[in-house]
């Protein structure tokens, strides 16, 4: 009778979370279907939908990050690079790195503590979305930094085995259709001794703070998305996708399952996000 605004999407029932219960119908449990925020979509369609979201948000991405997190995202990313603690021999692959936040921090960190990189910094930024990469490229131009930019899906990287010593992914992995595949690829392209570091939204453990955080996420963020970026739906998707992502312990287990060792995580800002880290030892 009435069209739902995502075309062919089949949507979840609203029983679980009354604040985010915007859509109703039957639930499908099927390996051919996956989640897209709180909606259920065909697995093969998810990547395309994520692409659309990020094409839409690309131009206002950095500004919205600042507004939504009150600037905190900068501190989280600083901590991520600090934890990675790279030197000037490090070879970085930054996945879902579109606008370059992690890549630029990596370069600054190394150049401040060690002598300059011998060539241009050994950094490859990879993203499924070209619009995001374009934003990153223009930022790199402004800074006079020369990096490699590759458009690719993190589930199928176009790099040979053991090409990198560091693999980072910040606020990107929750958007990937098959997280285990991304982790497997990360393992494959890292050299023995290489480190995987992931910064991602997590679950707030404190129940009172969690309620405040939920209210802020669902009541305020989509409104900000509409007013600042003219795009309610993309930011609705973003806050829903955070809740669909596995909790820190479960994600830690997933990382271990593909072969990483010494897997640990560090919650930040009451669990709003967490940095997971693991090593490929052999």
Using CB under 8 A, list all residues that contact other proteins: 2-5, 14, 21-24, 219-220, 222-224, 226-228, 230, 232-233
Compute the least distance from the CB of residue 5 to other proteins, in Å: 6
Closest approach of Cβ 235 to other proteins, in Å?
11
- Taking the least distance from each CB to other proteins, the nearer of 14 and 268 is 14
Task: Output 38-46 pairs: Cβ under 8 A, ≥24 positions apart.
Answer: 38/11, 38/12, 38/240, 38/243, 38/244, 39/6, 39/9, 39/10, 39/11, 39/12, 39/240, 40/9, 40/10, 40/11, 40/12, 41/6, 41/8, 41/9, 41/10, 42/8, 43/177, 45/8, 46/177
- Pick the closer one to other proteins by CB: 155 or 226: 226
- Determine the longest span between alpha carbons in the chain, in angstroms: 65
As measured in angstroms, the least distance from the Cβ of 35 to other proteins is: 18
Residue 14 or residue 209: which is nearer to other proteins going by CB? 14
Minimum distance from residue 135 beta carbon to other proteins (Å): 21
Residue 77 CA to residue 106 CA, distance in Å, equals 10
Find tokens 């199928």 and name the residue.
156
Q: How far is the CB of 115 from other proteins (least distance, A)?
A: 47
**Looking at beta carbons only, is 91 or 228 nearer to other proteins?**
228
**Least CB distance to other proteins at residue 217 (A):** 12
Q: Which is nearer to other proteins, 23 or 187 (by Cβ)?
A: 23
Strands 10-11 and 33-36: unpaired
Nearer residue to other proteins within complex by CB, 205 or 219: 219
Structure tokens, 83: 């934890």
Query: 62: buried, middle or exposed (CB in 10 Å: 19+, 13-18, 0-12)?
Result: middle
How near is the Cβ of 82 to other proteins at its closest, in Å? 35
With tokens 């900000």, the residue in question is 224
Give how far Cα 168 sits from Cα of 12, 190, 278, Å. Answer: 32, 11, 11
Judged by beta carbon, residue 149 or residue 213, the one nearer other proteins is 213
């Amino acid at each position: 009778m009435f069209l739902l605004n995502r075309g062919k999407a089949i949507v979840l029932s609203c029983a679980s979370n009354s604040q985010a219960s915007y859509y109703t119908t039957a639930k499908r449990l099927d390996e051919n279907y996956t989640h897209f925020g709180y909606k259920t979509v065909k697995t093969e369609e998810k990547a395309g939908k994520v692409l659309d979201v990020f094409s839409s948000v690309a131009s206002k991405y950095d500004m919205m990050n600042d507004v939504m997190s009150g600037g905190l995202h900068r501190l989280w990313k600083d901590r991520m690079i600090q934890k990675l603690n790279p030197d000037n021999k490090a070879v970085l692959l930054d996945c879902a790195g579109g606008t370059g936040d992690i890549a630029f921090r990596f370069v600054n960190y190394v150049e401040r503590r060690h002598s300059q990189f011998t060539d241009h910094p050994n950094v490859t930024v990879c993203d499924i979305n070209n619009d995001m990469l374009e934003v990153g490229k223009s930022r790199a131009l402004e800074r006079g930094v020369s990096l490699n930019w590759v458009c690719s899906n993190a589930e199928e990287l176009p790099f040979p085995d053991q090409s990198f010593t560091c693999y980072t992914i910040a606020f990107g992995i929750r958007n990937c259709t098959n997280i285990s595949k991304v982790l497997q690829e990360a393992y494959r392209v890292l050299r023995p001794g290489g480190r995987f570091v992931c910064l991602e939204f997590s679950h707030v453990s404190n129940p009172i703070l969690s309620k405040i955080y939920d209210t802020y996420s669902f009541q305020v963020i989509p409104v900000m998305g509409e007013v600042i970026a003219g795009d309610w739906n993309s930011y609705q998707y973003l806050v829903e996708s955070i809740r669909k992502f596995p909790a820190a312990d479960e994600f830690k287990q997933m990382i271990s399952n593909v072969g990483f060792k010494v897997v640990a995580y560090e919650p930040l800002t009451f669990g709003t996000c967490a940095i997971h880290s693991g090593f490929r030892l052999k």
